[in-house]
Amino acid sequence: MTGSTAGPRGPRAAHSTQETSGARATPDTRGGAAYWLEHAWLDNHVEPGVAVFVADGRITEVRSGTETPPAGATVLRGLTLPGLANAHSHAFHRALRGTVQVGSGTFWTWREVMYGVAARLTPDSYHALARAVYAEMALAGITSVGEFHYLHHAPGGTPYDNPNAMGEALIAAAAEAGIRITLLDTAYVSSGVTGRRGGAPPDRRQLRFSDGTADAWAERASALRGSDHARIGAAIHSVRAVPADQLATVAAWARERAAPLHVHLSEQTAENDACLAVHGRTPTQLLADHGVLDARTTGVHNTHLTVEDIALLGSTRTGTCMCPTTERDLADGIGPAAQLQRAGSPLSLGSDSHAVIDLLEEARAMELDERLRSRTRGHWTAAALLHAATADGHAALGWPEAGRIERGALADLVTIALDSVRTAGPPPRLGAETAVFAASAADVRHTVVAGRHLVRDGVHTLVPDVPAALAASIGALRG
């Protein structure tokens, strides 16, 4: 696959897993690979003894009832899931971990610290940091990331000689870390919602983010190119950062390319209040007015919504990406994920500011946060939460052929240990429940991307010392 964009999000492809007896001859994988999964999550249940054959980065056959590994197969012990999709990332925020936990404050005080880190990044230093962050994601079983990228230009807003130097650094970093990326190149034009045409101008710290107008953003973003591991999407940073009269420009750019379009939506009540004061509309309603909402669009956070907003997002099949660890870290609030899904909004998960990088924790937190809010249990099954972390997350990023263990799917796998101090005890048939409600990223034993064994027994094969890479790249940014 070499295109820079993907087809529209839609229903999951029909299940095509081929299940045969272990006696069948090993298929010709044309120089591919074979894996034997001790336990595999297939079609919402755990199946023991599954052989997976791979060629050209895709699964060519899935063979159940295979009691012993086929000759030459790599053995993956534990529970193997489809690769996890991190649908919302700001890679440079990883440098904030720990430092923003000192003292108290709000989202807005946190943002001031974030600006300081953003001001010190260059294409080279961002590449080094992102490579380490994406390697950390691979160790956590993440095989695809949606990078919500708005750090475009040099300090002061001057474009680099290559206007896409920062975005291309991220694409290269993902390749070197071995994972897929959807670069969600982000339009960021204004500093706040005003009645003024063009919005309030960006302040000095936001000049790096801004192309000046959505038309200028579209011209720059059009020069980006995808590859086998990378696809190009679009993002509207927020209704604060893209004026109402320019929202349609970004939506049209994505629609013409059948590309995913993401937007921070109603993360903060202050944003809602400003939008209502200026436009007499909620941010959701404003986006709908300008053609932003549809099945290729994903709203990130969707925290402070009205009943009408929820119905509007559901009726347009606009997705919802929940980032529970960041939403609670920043005291944003608990979004109405259960109501959104019931209304028709597909759910995905992201680690956002990377307070932690652990998609199992994000899945667990979505359910547990809803329990706290509603004081009832069991809003999603473990299988439903895994779908949000796999197939639905990949669909939100424009990789609809990923997130399933079946013939024709991308050969992306993650294996969770079932014998750690966190996961030992439950029977393997409850492996999905164990993975979601007990395991953590520390229990990821293997990660396979495009058939390549990327993480082997907890060690990244391309970035052997990920902690050292993180420490060095973050240390280089200290002021």
Catalytic residues: 301, 352
Q: 447 in helix, strand or coil?
A: strand
Beta carbons of 278 and 194 less than 8 angstroms apart: yes
Torsion of CA 219, 225, 230, 232, to 10 degrees: 20
Residue 102's contacts (CB-CB under 8 Å, 6 or more residues apart) are none
As beta bridge partners, residue 416 has 79, 444
- C-alpha–C-alpha distance, residues 157 and 342, integer Å: 43
- C-alpha–C-alpha distance, residues 186 and 233, integer Å: 9
Q: Edge-to-edge strands of the sheet including 84-89?
A: 84-89, 142-149, 180-187, 230-236, 261-265, 297-301, 319-322, 347-349
Supply the DSSP symbol for 103.
Answer: S
> What are the tokens at 461?
């094969």
- C-alpha–C-alpha distance, residues 165 and 422, integer Å: 42
